[in-house]
Structure 1
């Protein structure tokens, strides 16, 4: 019981840290217009910041993923928080586009580093049958953090300007760091895997940089990596530019746009919760239906999202507003269902020694998609003339995501059983070696 309480405490603090850290990621979105005016830049410049922010952070996270599988994760997590939050704080003193660009890229490195560390910890704190809802909770941290960043900027920028929000979202984690150092404990690797949870033998392993190449030999990994690139192009562009879309093309002021975005974001939270909790239940009954249901909801989400962009809200009254908000809520819920299931699938087909690296690679594919999405969204708005048309184009990339998820239906269950069998064999081998050592002594 004590062990379970301690695990819940770690999840709570990890959730809190990630909420605040992910607020850094979206705090810029509501103040795009103010930043454009001050530095005399275009949507393409904004898209470039968003793209490089994600891509550089993801590339650096490959190194952090390797370190995660090798060294103490508590101290790596603390380091990633400092790397992310200090530059976010310093963004407020930027006096030029170049300075602003520099501090945002450094902030992206900290956020990218936290990703493999967090999911590696979860993999060693919970069994494969429990991970669905825990992954959902961590996914909520990202979503809620993004919402928090947008709300802070959306509701304070009109009063204090665009700089103060960057201070407000970064300072809390700097205060929490000493508490985390005292609360966090490093979990034993492999403690909750098949075979290891019933015996006291240690999970022994070695890691090499060359092991990165072995990860894509697991077919589920490869398919989820590819869908991560395709599926997150719209995730990179749509939330990033949505408030600006409402202001520019739906005739809303900043407060109205932020409030409507909040309704859409609540749909995303709902989808994330349903995805994690329903995904775990589906996993226990039929593993192959986890990717199948995710594929279906992703494809449905495409058409609902396109309907949101095409909805003529500017000509509508209160009924139009309710319809617009409800449509956005449902679309966001469908779009968000897949996220926690993808992460749960990755945890359940990879060894404990590989999870830091597998999530660093997934973060790379995820962030490349998000970064490219912001670049594409900003550039297409210049080419097509409207943000709505640009974001509609990015939404169609989710169709490729749904197709790849559908393909993974044929491989996921097999890869799970392969891992469970391997872990049982490693556990049995460890018991035999321990008994042989006792006999020799």
Structure 2
């Protein structure tokens, strides 16, 4: 921390320009990534494969992403995050094109697995955002960014339903891959790096600050925090429902509930819009609760997973002919399901020092995907043995019940670990002021 970084405070308008760029990156990237769900029936028909084989396609990409999370996280904490994000966007475009030209199932499986390389690039983006916005605003900003995931899924679904039958699923991949190249150029030319820790309240008003460098000792200290243990555990279980619903729900509606393409669009589109709003609502509620108690984000998260499990179970038990009841229950599921997502990210940064935040977030995502990478394949196996209703219901409900228990554990330690971070930031700011005096 001996080097000095100049503290150029970005104008408010520029900060929101950066958020707009990152929102577009996430929106288009998620649309490309999640296209595989709505396109699953067409891809299965072309290659003549089973649900288990199709589940392996998604699992392959998730396994690659899981392996690369720690590597991306370490690189983000060592080098310029904006440039690495531009590289990730370029890789997104290139690997999607490889998927479009694959002509056999084995080559498509390999090409689709390669798309996982850039799927593990988000920790650097979230860490960079944390240096533009202070702790009391991060939940809202992360919630705003995470609006992009469900809206991206909706865009992907529209592309799959409206355009793919006319121009083919391969052309859709060529189109979304090209957008990745464009976004890479925008990030490279338009997004500036920020000094790590710049937005921490202890450094407010300072024109210079120490340049924090990655430290293995600090990383080991993060891994020793009890709050992070429970964050890791809930992450392992918490992504199972997202991956199962994302990659199999479209097929479930078509094959087990008898929905045609227009019925699927009319049912899923409102649900996705509510899901999108749930991310932002969760961030707002988390920030509101955090200002009142450091346990606030965890409380909001625990309510989200509990209510999401209850409403999803009720929806999946609804008879096929009761479409209105099913729709209402899925809307309620969609409202509660994403409440925890922005709050988990903000919680990680509430207890970790700036120079290891990307790595800490990457480790959390690595643990998430290490388990959840198996979710699409596991769902496919259960669906082949029983049906998709059974697969979706029991994987999701079991995972969310475990998350609720892990959040109760995090509630016990979050206050201590949060105050420890604030004390450390205060000591660093005081030490630097003495050095500069």
TM-score (norm 2): 0.94
Q: For residues 67 and 85 of structure 1, what CA distance do their matches in structure 2 show?
A: 21
1:268-307 pair list within 5 angstroms: 268-307=275-314
Q: For residues 376 and 150 of structure 1, what CA distance do their matches in structure 2 show?
A: 23
SS at match of 2:38: helix
SS at match of 1:150: helix
Name the structure 1 match of 2:28.
20
Per-residue Cα deviation, 1:62-90 (whole angstroms, up to 9, x for no partner): 11110101111111011111111211122
Aligned length: 428
Name the structure 2 match of 1:112.
120
Q: Which of 332, 335, 342 is 1:333 aligned to?
A: 335
Kept in 2, the 8 Å contact 1:24–1:107? The answer is no
Kept in 2, the 8 Å contact 1:22–1:111? The answer is no
Name the structure 2 match of 1:415.
417
Kept in 2, the 8 Å contact 1:91–1:166? The answer is yes
Q: For residues 276 and 145 of structure 2, what CA distance do their matches in structure 1 show?
A: 11
Kept in 1, the 8 Å contact 2:92–2:180? The answer is no
Change (3 A) 1:343 1:50: same
Q: Which of 154, 158, 173 is 2:161 aligned to?
A: 154
Q: For residues 147 and 347 of structure 1, what CA distance do their matches in structure 2 show?
A: 30
Kept in 1, the 8 Å contact 2:131–2:199? The answer is yes
Q: For residues 344 and 366 of structure 1, what CA distance do their matches in structure 2 show?
A: 16
Name the structure 1 match of 2:375.
373
1:210: how far off? 6.4
1:324-403 pair list within 5 angstroms: 324-383=326-385, 385-395=386-396, 396-403=398-405
Q: Which of 44, 51, 58 is 1:50 aligned to?
A: 58
Kept in 2, the 8 Å contact 1:264–1:328? The answer is yes
Q: For residues 345 and 150 of structure 2, what CA distance do their matches in structure 1 show?
A: 15
1:338: how far off? 0.9
1:307: how far off? 1.4
Q: For residues 366 and 268 of structure 2, what CA distance do their matches in structure 1 show?
A: 27
SS at match of 1:53: helix
Change (3 A) 1:210 1:434: closer
Q: For residues 68 and 221 of structure 2, what CA distance do their matches in structure 1 show?
A: 20
Q: Which of 263, 268, 271 is 1:261 aligned to?
A: 268
1:209: how far off? 5.0
SS at match of 1:54: helix
1:157: how far off? 2.1
Name the structure 2 match of 1:36.
44
Q: For residues 43 and 148 of structure 1, what CA distance do their matches in structure 2 show?
A: 24
1:208: how far off? 4.2
Q: For residues 294 and 245 of structure 1, what CA distance do their matches in structure 2 show?
A: 27
1:334: how far off? 1.0
Query: After the TM superposition, which of the residue ranges 18-27 and 249-258 deviates more from structure 2?
Result: 249-258
TM-score (norm 1): 0.93
1:219: how far off? 1.4
Name the structure 2 match of 1:438.
none
Per-residue Cα deviation, 1:333-368 (whole angstroms, up to 9, x for no partner): 111111111111111111110111011112212222
1:242: how far off? 0.3
Q: For residues 10 and 153 of structure 1, what CA distance do their matches in structure 2 show?
A: 29
1:38-117 pair list within 5 angstroms: 38-113=46-121, 115-117=122-124
Q: Which runs of 5+ in 1 are unaligned?
A: 436-441
Q: For residues 10 and 105 of structure 2, what CA distance do their matches in structure 1 show?
A: 51
1:224-239 pair list within 5 angstroms: 224-239=231-246
Moved over 6 A (4+): none
Q: For residues 301 and 179 of structure 1, what CA distance do their matches in structure 2 show?
A: 37
Per-residue Cα deviation, 1:357-393 (whole angstroms, up to 9, x for no partner): 011112212222331211211111112x210111111
Q: Pairwise CA RMSD of aligned residues?
A: 1.7
Per-residue Cα deviation, 1:138-175 (whole angstroms, up to 9, x for no partner): 21122222222222113222222222221232222312
Kept in 2, the 8 Å contact 1:124–1:189? The answer is yes
Q: For residues 191 and 334 of structure 2, what CA distance do their matches in structure 1 show?
A: 34
Q: Which of 293, 315, 318 is 1:311 aligned to?
A: 318
Name the structure 1 match of 2:250.
243
Per-residue Cα deviation, 1:238-267 (whole angstroms, up to 9, x for no partner): 221001000000011233223322222122
Q: For residues 378 and 215 of structure 1, what CA distance do their matches in structure 2 show?
A: 36
Query: After the TM superposition, which of the residue ranges 414-423 and 367-376 deviates more from structure 2?
Result: 367-376
Name the structure 1 match of 2:227.
220
Kept in 2, the 8 Å contact 1:242–1:261? The answer is no
